[in-house]
Structure 1
């Protein structure tokens, strides 16, 4: 801790080229993330990230290391938002669990949130994308985030989960309220969402359907491995993580393609690239979730020659590792024909036990929506100057596009 921590800016966190000097300094660099006060060790190298993200000596919840106990993150959220006590049970599933508990819950979710079920959604998602694109293009202009990417991400997740169409505006309101940071908006919507989840569970228990809620309810009834509280927690986890990150990726990928018209021409000449190398490369290039979750050392240890004390935080810059020149040739170049190797070949979805459970859905959304925009049509144009795009500064995370105004040709 004696080492002076470097204060990072939100722009640096979100810009791959800014990490070069940090990567050259050391395997771990002591930094203070924008909007935060506590120093953390930052990983910027691809191979180092693979090691740490799979290391069981690190945990997600720092409160597990407190000798004094103290309130958990769930406790802090309930207190801050003045929520009923039952809400302590709805936060932290998967995100803050580790080891056997994490493996148990992840196993339950993956049995319901299967790749086959997600891929079966493709025809429906293609039709929704076609219809919404036509409406917006006929009008001539749109906010690509608020009027295309976000509604389609909401629709896709709700179709899989089993949230009825009439309830979907509530999902959008919930996401908006959570990110507003205004408890007066979030609390009534949050409590209403919990009540509605309970109603849906009861409905699926009496009238099962081909959706995730029905599968989770069946597992609960037949095996007793999860209860209603955990089902609700899982639903909130999927809603929180299955809409915003894919929406951000669609927006960032669109801007990246508009910045690289030669790559768009290549894509139109070889449309099959969209289902092979284009989407993985865009995921690598944009790294729309620039920072991984903080991990906390459970013991004093040494990482790549750097001493890390028990309780100290380590964070992976997914943006940096996805642009590591030791891993990628010309990493700052967008190349839709790039072969990324085994597995994903990138870390846009993380790595190890906490690998993003919605990765298959995010890839499907990216492929369908970007194909509609840039292969089936000529692609949109920015309705504002590139430098006038508006970004939101999220403490500890970086900069994210607020909206994406475009026109259609």
Structure 2
């Protein structure tokens, strides 16, 4: 299957939660293949689990190099800094400043409050009655509320930063000018909020970052603004997308859903399997550049060449996962790479896990008979974004609880 000409990538438009079958073919026959994205350098694409972990974890692959190169990407705008474009030791320095807020112990302290928020949102759905838009009425406000309270961002401003956050995830939904405009507005908003917190500090992550900046000189003002903005966007967008994704998958796999309803102790395990099974990204992104010649999957990647990793393809690797195309909520195998791997492993993975567990448990217990209001075909899907998921998903349930 080896080809000398790079393939156009993404291979096809992301449809619902379907993964292009070419990934499976490449994983078997050409695990490291040449691809050309709409913008930037030609790249290698890694599709196997072990190769993915190598590229994501080996220090010979650099994220910071994208700031000096024409990064392969799906949109015209280039990377402009932040935690996701750093290598150690700078990346380590900044990550340590916020990592304490996202430890398993700290996240567990947030569980009761998160459960309270989830139940309050379901109360509202029950009061208004079915059908309800799961996205607007539950999936979005749950993680937005949590991250606002954790970071110290006014929930009342959510309409603004929800619009601006599209700039971080848009491929074709927004024009390059809109992406630049929204990004600047988000950064300006965060800079103003930081100035307010300096005058009136609070018990939140933003105040802690300000203290680290002003008292210990551990990060620059620009680093702090970008870091806080990144936490705000990442802290709600992906989880808000995965909640309806998970519900969609469960409703279209009734046998697995019945098993979960019968044993809610399976929820943590179910979240891990759904993280493995759901291809959240519309394509591979965040390339790493080889800083020296490195062999990956039997292929020599030359110094200066970028490699993209398909997490979705790696999570369907049959050499690691038995029957990888099958959803199995009782699966107990190798860890998925849905949250990434290596230095850039998702900082908020524990928070996301907790929120997803609570979301599923609350929906299944409070809304018996949860189902599509009409049919799965009526779900409206996001377009032109780096992540895939429902834009609107009407659901119904049985009776009042």
TM-score (norm 2): 0.86
User: Aligned ranges for residues 142-181 of structure 1 at < 5 Å?
Assistant: 142-176=132-166, 179=170, 180-181=173-174
Q: Do the aligned residues in 2 keep the contact of 1:14 with 1:398 (CA within 8 Å)?
A: no
Task: Using the TM superposition, give the Cα deviation of residue 209 of structure 1 relative to its aligned residue in structure 2, in angstroms.
Answer: 2.2
Partner residue in 2 for 1:375: 365
**Could you tell me how far apart the structure 2 residues matched to 1:297 and 1:279 are?**
33
1:218 aligns with 2:219: no
What 5-or-longer segments of structure 1 have no aligned partner?
81-87
Shift of 1:115: 3.6
| Alignment equivalent of 1:406, drawn from 392, 395, 399 | 395
* Deviation for aligned residue 1:121: 1.9
Among candidates 283, 288, 291, match of residue 298 of structure 1: 291
Q: Is the 8 A contact 1:137 1:408 kept in 2?
A: no
Asked whether the equivalents of residues 383 and 407 of structure 1 are also in contact (C-alpha less than 8 Å), the reply is yes
Q: SS in structure 1 opposite 2:124? A: helix
The 3 A distance-change label for structure 1 pair 141 and 2 is closer
> Which residue of structure 1 aligns with residue 4 of structure 2?
3
2:42 counterpart (31, 39, 44): 39
Residue matched to 1:27: 31
1:4-403, aligned counterparts within 5 Å?
Answer: 4-7=5-8, 8-11=11-14, 15-16=18-19, 18=21, 19-33=23-37, 35-36=38-39, 38-63=41-66, 66=69, 91-138=80-127, 139-176=129-166, 179=170, 180-182=173-175, 190-275=183-268, 277-289=269-281, 291-341=284-334, 345-394=335-384, 397=386, 399-403=388-392
**Structure 1 residue 106, shift from structure 2 partner:** 1.1
Q: Deviations over 1:36-81 (max 9, x none)?
A: 5753211111112111211122212445555xxx99x9xx95xx9x
Q: Offset of 1:295 from its aligned partner?
A: 1.3
Q: Distance in 1 between matches of 2:41 and 2:180?
A: 28
Unmatched 5+ stretches in structure 2: none
Q: Cα RMSD over matched residues? A: 3.0
Runs of 4+ in 1 over 6 A off after TM superposition: none
Report the CA distance shift for 1:398/1:12 in structure 2 as closer, same or farther (over 3 A): farther
2:101–2:107 Cα contact (<8 Å) kept: no
Deviation at 1:312, TM superposition (A): 2.2
Which stretch of structure 1 is more off in the superposition, 175-184 or 221-230? 175-184
- Say whether the 8 Å CA contact 1:15–1:319 is kept in structure 2: no
Task: Give the superposition deviation at 1:307.
Answer: 2.5
Deviation for aligned residue 1:257: 0.4
**Cα gap change, 1:195/1:52 in structure 2, threshold over 3 Å: closer, same or farther?**
closer
- Residue 33 of structure 2 aligns to a residue whose secondary structure is strand
Q: Secondary structure at the match of 1:335?
A: coil
- Tell me by how many angstroms 1:2 deviates: 7.8
Per-residue CA shift, 1:206-232, capped at 9, x if unaligned? Answer: 443221011112222331112332221
- 1:299–1:310 CA contact under 8 A, matched in 2: yes
TM-score (norm 1): 0.84
Determine the C-alpha separation between the residues in 1 that align with 2:44 and 2:182. 36
The number of residues matched between the two structures is 387
Distance 1:46 1:267 in 2: 27
Distance 1:393 1:29 in 2: 26
Mapped to 1, the partners of 2:149 and 2:371 lie a distance apart of 30
Map Cα deviations across residues 192-248 of structure 1 (whole Å, 9 max, x no partner).
544443343244334432210111122223311123322211111112222221112
For the residue of structure 1 that corresponds to 2:395, the secondary structure is strand
